Chains A and B, each alone.
Chain A
């Protein structure tokens, strides 16, 4: 199954009944799949007139307490940013999928990870965070979609699945029976009228009184703190004795794994820490590795964005270098291998 299709099927399995989209390469298969499947499960797939409409429709559906999602690729996600900020300000759970392509501007259509900053820092105005999940296989495109809905509902906040064009387009086997479902809280806050039997809920992100606004933001950050304490996800690969620790997410983590396996054959002790949640970032875990490893290397399809988070986590204890390709180019295993060898030689 294609990665994009796996996202769509997993969302439907997770009880998502509302999908709003607008076509853009390389994620259009999500819309296509939803258009075919949603009517059959009693859900709604609607192609909005723009990305901006799609995100605001998602907000409306989420406000009613339904599981709702939208998807796009980089330039389209920029268009959605205002809506995402409103959704965060309204404390609404929903899923936003970004199957990244090269940027800035219209950029290109080939795979990229250059929206890392956008996803983890500046996805919209105001003090806000998104839970950001970074799949690395088609299986994870599915499992993390399900997990994103559960996390969003648990913490009453939007979640983003940050994939890339390669993961969206590639095919791998997927097993949909492998997911664990979480117990999620009742949506007592939902603005669904409650059959007129009790007081209406109001969902709002406007607070004219600064003190009131500060209180609402501080309360939200208390929840963010819980996410940071409980929901960090990552994978470690051969880090136990590693001198050089690579940090990579998504498709580049797989390139990194191949490169590590290759350099290990010539005795270079390299390992990988793969963040699965980009926010919350596995900073404690990377910090702990900084006590035993001698150097760090990020592998990214951007000009070096996650490297900032790795440097913060390493806290100046070890050198942190980056191997980056951008514009839609996937770094090759040979290039990464070569970079590791050069680093090992200078240790």
Chain B
């Protein structure tokens, strides 16, 4: 089985981080995985996206036109990737940032006001992690514990507050 995902949003929303963390968790499951970032001026703002392919078999192209799952965290990304989601696929939106709704009936949607939830709960900057929590609940790609383990595992013990915030954000998304 192969799952293709595109994460897109503004530079600074943690788009690349979300993609990397997803790829890393899939790698720890023993899957084949590719992570293809957009690179260049994005890291200084503007739009940012990355593509993750997870497969039990050999992965051909790491670059994907129509993903199974598109995660969009701003309006330009919605406009760009909403039409491209594969029929039967999933569109995940941060509805705080996107005031549009898809009119497509052939795709499933997951709408999370992630940025709002984040700012209301002292988790500003963790909207991406909230979204990740919601995705793993919805798709069952990973268990909460395996995802959380790698998420906090990469943060040094000395940064306990950062660990707590990540866990809180992931749980908030998971339980949304």
Do A26 and B34 form a contact, CB below 8 Å, given A258-B61, A333-B61? no
Are A257 and B27 in contact, CB atoms less than 8 angstroms apart?
no
Alpha-carbon separation in the docked complex, A251 to B51 (Å): 15
Instruction: Determine how close the nearest CB of chain A comes to the CB of B162; give it in whole angstroms.
Output: 22
With most chain B CB atoms within 10 A of its CB, the pick from A165, A172, A257, A332 is A172
Do A109 and B39 form a contact, CB below 8 Å, given A171-B23, A173-B27, A333-B65? yes
Do A169 and B59 form a contact, CB below 8 Å, given A332-B65, A333-B65, A334-B65? no
Cβ–Cβ < 8 Å partners of B27 in chain A: 173
Q: Does B45 sit within 8 A of A, measured CB to CB? A: no
Alpha-carbon separation in the docked complex, A251 to B66 (Å): 18
Alpha-carbon separation in the docked complex, A334 to B61 (Å): 11
Q: Does A59 sit within 8 A of B, measured CB to CB? A: no
Q: Does B40 sit within 8 A of A, measured CB to CB? A: yes
Interface residues as binary, A195-225 with B (CB distance below 8 Å gives 1, 0 otherwise): 0000000000000000000000000000000
Instruction: Determine how close the nearest CB of chain A comes to the CB of B84; give it in whole angstroms.
Output: 11
Are A255 and B35 in contact, CB atoms less than 8 angstroms apart?
no
Cβ–Cβ < 8 Å partners of B37 in chain A: 169-171
Pick from B20, B33, B39, B62: contact of A165, CB under 8 Å: B39
Cβ–Cβ < 8 Å partners of B36 in chain A: 166, 169-170
Q: Closest residue of chain A to B19, judged by CB? A: A171
Q: Does B63 sit within 8 A of A, measured CB to CB? A: yes
Are B35 and A258 in contact, CB atoms less than 8 angstroms apart?
no
Interface residues as binary, A14-52 with B (CB distance below 8 Å gives 1, 0 otherwise): 000000000001100000000000000000000000000
Q: Does B60 sit within 8 A of A, measured CB to CB? A: yes
Are A255 and B65 in contact, CB atoms less than 8 angstroms apart?
no
Q: Closest residue of chain A to B59, judged by CB? A: A254
Interface residues as binary, B20-48 with A (CB distance below 8 Å gives 1, 0 otherwise): 10010001000011111101100000000
Are B63 and A255 in contact, CB atoms less than 8 angstroms apart?
yes
Do A166 and B65 form a contact, CB below 8 Å, given A26-B39, A109-B39, A171-B35? no
Alpha-carbon separation in the docked complex, A255 to B34 (Å): 13
Q: Does A110 sit within 8 A of B, measured CB to CB? A: yes
Alpha-carbon separation in the docked complex, A257 to B59 (Å): 9
Cβ–Cβ < 8 Å partners of B59 in chain A: 254
Cβ–Cβ < 8 Å partners of B32 in chain A: 173
Pick from B33, B61, B63, B66: contact of A257, CB under 8 Å: B61
Do A332 and B63 form a contact, CB below 8 Å, given A170-B34, A171-B20, A172-B35? yes
Alpha-carbon separation in the docked complex, A240 to B39 (Å): 38
Interface residues as binary, A279-319 with B (CB distance below 8 Å gives 1, 0 otherwise): 00000000000000000000000000000000000000000
Alpha-carbon separation in the docked complex, A165 to B38 (Å): 10
Instruction: Determine how close the nearest CB of chain B comes to the CB of A274; give it in whole angstroms.
Output: 11
Tell me the A228-287 residues at the B interface (CB within 8 Å).
Answer: 251, 254-259, 261
Interface residues as binary, B51-81 with A (CB distance below 8 Å gives 1, 0 otherwise): 0000000111111111000000000000000
Cβ–Cβ < 8 Å partners of A332 in chain B: 61, 63, 65
Are A25 and B39 in contact, CB atoms less than 8 angstroms apart?
yes
With most chain A CB atoms within 10 A of its CB, the pick from B32, B39, B61 is B61
Instruction: Determine how close the nearest CB of chain A comes to the CB of B71; give it in whole angstroms.
Output: 17
Q: Does A330 sit within 8 A of B, measured CB to CB? A: yes
Cβ–Cβ < 8 Å partners of B40 in chain A: 25-26, 109-110
Q: Closest residue of chain B to A169, judged by CB? A: B39
Instruction: Determine how close the nearest CB of chain A comes to the CB of B49; give it in whole angstroms.
Output: 13
Alpha-carbon separation in the docked complex, A337 to B61 (Å): 12
13 contacts between A and B (CB under 8 A): A166-B62, A169-B36, A169-B39, A171-B23, A172-B33, A172-B62, A173-B33, A255-B61, A255-B63, A258-B61, A332-B61, A332-B63, A333-B61
| Chain A positions near chain B (C-beta within 8 angstroms) | 25-26, 109-110, 165-166, 169-173, 251, 254-259, 261, 330, 332-334
Further pairs besides A171-B20, A254-B59, A254-B62: 19, Cβ < 8 Å: A25-B40, A26-B39, A26-B40, A166-B36, A166-B63, A170-B35, A171-B34, A172-B34, A172-B62, A173-B27, A173-B33, A258-B61, A259-B60, A330-B61, A330-B63, A332-B61, A332-B63, A332-B65, A334-B65
**5 smallest beta-carbon distances between A and B, as pairs:** A258-B60, A257-B60, A171-B35, A255-B61, A258-B61
